[in-house]
Each structure stands twice: as C-alpha cells, then as structure tokens.
Amino acid sequence: MTDEKARSRHAELVSEVRAHDYRYYVLDDPAIGDRDYDALYHELRELEAAHPELATADSPTRRVGSTPRGALKNVRHVIPMMSLDNTYSEEMLRDFARRVETGLPTGKTARFCVEPKLDGASIEILYRDGRFVEGSTRGDGEHGEDITENLRTIRSLPLTIPYKEPLTLRAEVVIYRRDLAKINQGRVAAGEAPFANPRNAASGSLRMIDPRVVAERPLRAIVWQVVEGAKLADSHSDALDKLSELGLPTHKKHVRASSIDEVLKIIEDLELSRKDYPYETDGAVIKVDDFGQQAILGATAKFPRWAIAYKFSAERAETHVQAIEIGVGRTGTLTPVAVLDPVQLAGTVVSRASLHNEQIVGQLDLRIGDRVTIEKAGEIIPQVVAVHHEARSSDLPPFRMPEKCPSCGTPVVRVEGEVAVKCPNRRCPDQVQGALFHFSRRFAMDIDHLGESLIESLVNQELVRDVADLYELTHERVVALERMGKKSAENLITSIQNSKQRTFDRLITGLGIEHVGQVAARQLAEALHSLDDLLALTPEELEERVTSISGFGPKMAQSLREFHADPTARELLERLQKLGVSRPQPRPEVAAEGPLTGQSFCVTGVLSRKREDVHAAIRAAGGTVHDKVKIGTTYLVAGDKVGAAKLSAAKKAGTRVIDEATLERLIAGETLEPEA
C-alpha cells in the first residue's frame, strides 16, 4: 500500500471506528456486531503498525497506555468542585426557589433545569484546542488526582471535539447495571468478591495505577456541567444540548421548568422512570438555568446558591427470610441478621439485613420463613421495615437468641438494663477479628493492606489474638499465608510498623473502648498526654481525671475505669507500651475567641470533606465538638445519609439540626434566625 493510500485508509478507519464507538457507548445503539467492529479495529491497528507515523495521540488505538504509572499525582481544579446542598422535602425545595427569587434583581424570575442526579464518580475533564488534555477526580474539591490516562480508556469520551475554545467540564463516570452484572459474574468465577454497586466499581476503577486494567472495565462518562466555556451557550440546558451536538456524552434527560410547581412534577416523573435508566440515579438536581443568573446568585463557602439536589426516598422491596444468623461484633454484642432471598434494591443485590437486637425482632414478630419488606436506610444499610404476618403459615416458631456464642461457644450474658446479649470472652475469634478491623481503620491506626479477609486468615491461623500481636508479626509468618506474596507481606509489615507513629488519640480510638468515640479519644489523649501516663494511673485516679473533662458523663467514665481495671486490657496496654506503639499527644492549641465560642456541635452523616477536618474547623472557630448529641449540644450538623436515631436524639435534647452550608455560615460569623 502506498503512503497516500495508507493515509486515506487510515482516515476512513479512524472515522468509522469513532462513529461506532459513539453509537455504542454514547447512544447505546450499536450499528454493527462485535465481530465486525473487531475486524475494523484490528485493521486500524495493523495499519498503524506498518505506518507508525499515522498513529496520532488521538487515534482510537491509543486509548490504553502500555505500562503502569507510579502513584497518582495531585492537580488543582480549574474551578473548585463544590458539593450540592440537598433536601428530601417539597417545602425545602420551595424555600430554595424563594431564596433564588430574593437573590435576583427585582422583577427578574428564574427558569430552572431539572435532571437526574447520577450516582457514580465525579470528575473534571479539560479540552484545549479541541483535544482532551487532562482529567481528575473530585478529591477535596480544590485538588484531585490526575487520572488522565485512565479516562482516555473510556470510549464514550471523545479525545477530540470540533470546538477550539477552552472547555472545562464536570462529568460522572458510571457503569451500567447490565455491565456490572457481567463484571461480577467474572469476579465470582475467579474467586474474587463482587462489587457492591456500580458507584463503587466506577470509583475504584478510576484510581487504578494500570490503565490497561481500567480499559477492561466498561466505564462510561456522562457530562453534566460546563464550568469554563462561556462562548458555548448562555444557559445550562442549551450548553448540554450543544455538548451533545459536539459528540460529548450527556444524559439527555434534562427538562426545563419555569416554576417550582413544574420542577416538582418533573421530579415525580424522574423518580417513577429511574428504574428504566441503564445507570443508577439517587435523586434529581435542580439548577437555575441562566448562566448570568447563576453568576449573580454566587455560592457559599461550599455550595452554589443556584443549585440543589433532591434525594429520592429509599427504595423498598419484598422478599422472604431464609434464616436468622447471629453475628458477633468487636465488643461481643450478638446481632441477629436476616438471611434473605436475594433481591435488587437501590442498585445492589441485597441478601442480608441487620435486625439490630432481640428486642427489635420481638417488636416486628419476625420469624424464619416470613415475607418482609426491606429498605436501605440512608441508601446504605438494608433493614427490615415490615413483616407480612397475613402471609405467614401457622407453624413458624418464634425467634430466640442463642444461649452460647456462635463463634466460641461461651455462655452469653445479658447486661442488666440493656437489650444487648453479649459474649464475655475477649478471645472470641469474631470479637478479635472485629477489633483488628476497627484498630486498622483510617480514623484509628490507619494500617494499609490489612483487609477483612487477611484479618480472618491471621486469626484462624492463630498468628494474631489481639492488636498487640500485629506488631510482633514477621515477614516469614505472613508470607506463609495462602495467596500472600513477598511484596504484599513486606507492604503489610511496613504499614504496621509505620502505625507506631500515630498519636495517642488514634490508639485510644483504635482500642474501641465502649462509649469512647473519636472526639472523646482526643479529649482523653489531650488530658493524659501518653500511654505511659495512662498506665501510671490507678483506675480510681483515671475516673477522677476524666470526670473533669467536658462532655465525659458517668457512662464514659465507668467504661474507661472498667477497661483500665480489666487484667486482660491492662496486659494489652503494657505490651503496646513495650512495643513502642503510639507517640505522645501534641498539646492542644487553644483557639482564640471565635464566632463559635460558647457553642457545641455534633457532626454526623456524609459530608463534603473528612469529618476530622470539619471538627478542626469548628475548634479553630472557638467551638467544641461532642461525640453524641446530649443536653447542651447547640447544633447537630447533619450531612447526607443521616440515621433517624441521631435526629431523634437532637429533638429530645433540644438541639438544632443544621446542614454543612449553615455551619459554614456560622464559621463565617453569620447569626442564624431563631427557629420558628
């Protein structure tokens, strides 16, 4: 083939492959079969092998890198990726519309654009001079991780577009439900754990080091926002239409509305049709459509004032209870778990649901064989919300908690005044596994490479009986475990040894002392300073010290005293001391008078940043932080997916519930209007 013919055929093949990629990955409407597509792709690859000068960076064959990269580097977003304020109620949507009207010049009204809230992994993508040049994860909103090479593997995302102006976009990376089912079939066949839902699969895939592995995942990108590209259109809805014309993938589900009543009707339609979409959605996003009005309305420190997310109510499903199993937690509490006929719910296959305790089972009058309704609390935890007694056969026996621990066979105990049934054996294998997992978590000792399956192996092989045993593990013992390579063993041992440098509060948190959470652990560590100081105290002296700490009630003080006086616990602390685990707690920096002085906060739910960072911001502004809502707690800062228990506690304590945006306003010095 002559050079001229090669160039001509190359151009034809590139155009044809791109067209088929668009039809398959964007329109979801393939025009040819896989075999015919593979033949075109193979011909293109062979042609570029014979004529390397034709293989440009944006060729369809260049979507996958040839070698893994090093660690992902951080990049600054062109414009910060802000979170959206969210609501579950019609009244709050109407409040949003009123705030928009108030924020616009007199006589101006807003039109809205309503669209599905995609449940995937958010990214920023940059096009310069018509070429895709960079992509990054959301990260902390200001910075994200550079995942450009991974995004190049996503065939729904064009590498070139017919638009030369700078264009910065926000998009969601998703996996279609049907594609996730195929992935999980392969993972199960290979002995790997299936992905819990499409969002987790997409998010985990994006941060993989090797783009060749990413290319094997059926990721798709869906663009939902223009953040830089003023010449493209004057409104959000027109911009989405224009992006689609340029060949970029959009959801094409956006609907314009001229009033809040129209918005509510569109949301209702979206919720009814969400099951028909190939991807997961968990709500609707409502935006002021006009870009000029968006600029006038501006943003708070965390949220744009021109947009809000409406979260759909939890999905429910009916199924049968096959069995009731008993789980043993790290504190020894026995928890009944319903084993269910598998059922699809909120994007995942649910086969188990927590029943919390014996009292809840009794209130539900739940029995093995019953037909039940389940829902995901806060879209996370499956729970039984109703039992269909009318469908029950007459011979189903009532449920009874076991008299012996199912993990170790020790007789269980019932704590006076509590509904909990507990195993008192601290060496119970299930308790040890739970304690090790808690100890290794990021908010505690932050030990990488120590997952649940490895913990189970370490306990079953009797290599680890408590958290101190971790620090006496050797490379030889670990590498002898099944499926454990030399490098993995080295990484684990290194991570365990590095954790010795965590501060004293992280160690207290990791020990999982009952009633002592992260906030209380920090207060205790600041009061005692080090593990040496803790061990130097008698139980009576410790109780006296902690009662002077703000927020430490009788239950917390008693729990600490009992832990400190327990011979097994004291032996554990002394071993950790000899092993050099944890460093002294830095002396706390006393905040000057600030806008939150005299106010106390409890923080719960999913927030736009790490909870520790929110706590630090509150303290820096002069406020105090409580582990739990109690009498005297001024505010409960409620993020996304908040449990009903915290909200109920706030109501009983007279604590005002605010969102993260309102907290930012308080930190900025604003004064809230009294509640009606």
Cα 276 to Cα 215: distance, rounded to the nearest angstrom: 26
* 59-68, 278-287, 484-493, 591-600: range with lowest mean pLDDT: 59-68
Mean pLDDT on 413-439: 90
Backbone φ, ψ for residue 203 (5° rounding): -65, -45
Please state whether 409 falls in left (phi above 0), alpha (psi between -120 and 50) or beta. Answer: left
Please answer whether residues 668 and 618 qualify as being in contact, where contact means their C-beta atoms are separated by less than 8 angstroms. no
Whether the Cβ atoms of residue 76 and residue 250 lie closer than 8 Å to each other: no
Mean pLDDT to the nearest integer, 123-134: 93
Which fold, 316-414? OB fold (Dihydrolipoamide Acetyltransferase, E2P) (2.40.50)
* Tens-place pLDDT, residues 218-246: 899 999 999 887 678 999 999 999 999 99
pLDDT of residue 519: 82
Q: How many CB atoms lie within 10 A of CB 222?
A: 21
Q: What is the mean pLDDT of residues 374-389?
A: 78
Domain(s) labelled CATH 3.40.50.10190 in the chain stretch across: 600-667
Q: Within its chain, how far is the Cα of 226 from the centroid?
A: 25
Band (586; pLDDT cuts 50, 70, 90) = confident
Question: Which among 356, 352, 351 has a CA at the least distance from the CA of 334?
Answer: 356
pLDDT in tens, 595-636: 898 899 999 887 777 787 788 889 888 888 887 888 889 999
- Confidence at residue 56, expressed as pLDDT on a 0 to 100 scale: 78
CA distance 354 to 377: 11
The total of other beta-carbon atoms located within 10 Å of residue 410's CB is 15
CATH 3.30.470.30 positions along the chain are 86-311
Which of 490, 475, 507, 493 minimizes the C-alpha distance to 581? 507
| CATH 2.40.50.140 domain position(s) in the chain | 316-414
Judged against a pLDDT cut of 60, whether residue 670 lies above it is answered with yes
In sequence order, the 6+-apart residues with CB closer than 8 A to the CB of 145 are 72, 73, 74, 75, 136, 137, 139, 207
Looking at the DSSP assignment, which residues form a beta bridge with residue 126? Answer: 134, 168
Handedness of CA 266, 267, 271, 275 (dihedral sign): positive
Task: Indicate where the chain has its CATH 1.10.287.610 domain(s).
Answer: 3-62
Chain-wide mean pLDDT for the chain? 86
Highest mean pLDDT: which of 73-77, 370-374, 390-394? 370-374
- Helix, strand, or coil (residue 545): helix
More confident residue, 518 or 423: 423
More confidently predicted of 649 and 572: 572
- Which distant-in-sequence residues (6+ apart) come within 8 Å of 399 by Cβ? 324, 336, 358, 361, 362, 366, 367, 368
| Residue 499, H or E segment | none
- Burial label for 66, CB within 10 Å (0-12, 13-18, 19+), is exposed
Ramachandran class of 141: left when φ > 0, alpha when ψ lies in -120 to 50, beta otherwise = left
Q: What is the pLDDT of residue 509?
A: 94
The closest of 309, 338, 314, 340 to 324, measured between CA atoms, is 338
DSSP code string of 84-140 = --EESSHHHHHHHHHHHHHHSPTT----EEEEEEE-SEEEEEEEETTEEEEEEE-TT
CATH 1.10.150.20 residue ranges in the chain? 429-501, 504-578
Instruction: Between 266 and 555, name the one with better pLDDT.
Output: 266
Q: Which one is predicted more confidently, 67 or 81? A: 81
Does the structural domain 86-311 have CATH classification 3.30.470.30? yes
Both structure tokens of 534 = 């803790």
Half-sphere exposure of 121 (CA within 13 A, CB side): 27
Instruction: Find all residues with CB under 8 Å of 265, minimum gap 6, and list them.
Output: none
| pLDDT confidence of residue 66 | 45
Using an 8 Å Cβ cutoff, are 611 and 639 in contact? no
Task: Report the DSSP pairing between strands 413-414 and 421-422.
Answer: antiparallel
Q: Does domain 504-578 have CATH number 1.10.150.20?
A: yes
Query: Could you report the per-residue pLDDT of 287-328, keeping only the tens digit for each?
Result: 999 999 999 999 876 789 999 999 887 778 899 999 999 999
Rounded (5°) CA angle 157-162-167: 65
Catalytic, out of 117, 287, 628, 646: 117
Chain position carrying tokens 């739990």: 628
Min mean pLDDT across 179-193, 354-368, 410-424, 573-587 is at 179-193
Measured CA to CA, the distance from residue 17 to residue 41 in angstroms comes to: 7
70 pLDDT higher than 60: no
Most confident residue range from 148-157, 171-180, 228-237, 489-498: 489-498
H or E stretch at 360: helix 358-364
Q: For the structural domain made of 429-501, what CATH number should be given?
A: 1.10.150.20
Q: Is the pLDDT of residue 65 over 60?
A: no
CATH, domain range 3-62: 1.10.287.610
Question: CA separation (Å) from 190 to 186, 187, 193, 247, 662?
Answer: 6, 5, 9, 37, 48
The domain 600-667 having CATH identifier 3.40.50.10190: the answer here is: yes
pLDDT of 64 > 70? The answer is no
| CA–CA gap between residue 250 and residue 118 (Å, rounded) | 11
Which residue, among 483, 485, 494, 503, has the nearest Cα to 588 in the 3D structure?
503
Q: What average pLDDT does range 118-145 have in this prediction? A: 88
Per-residue pLDDT at 469 exceeds 80: yes
117 catalytic residue (yes or no)? yes
**Residue 376: pLDDT over 60:** yes
Q: How many DSSP H helices and E strands does the chain contain?
A: 25, 22
Q: Are the C-beta atoms of residues 238 and 291 closer than 8 Å to each other?
A: no
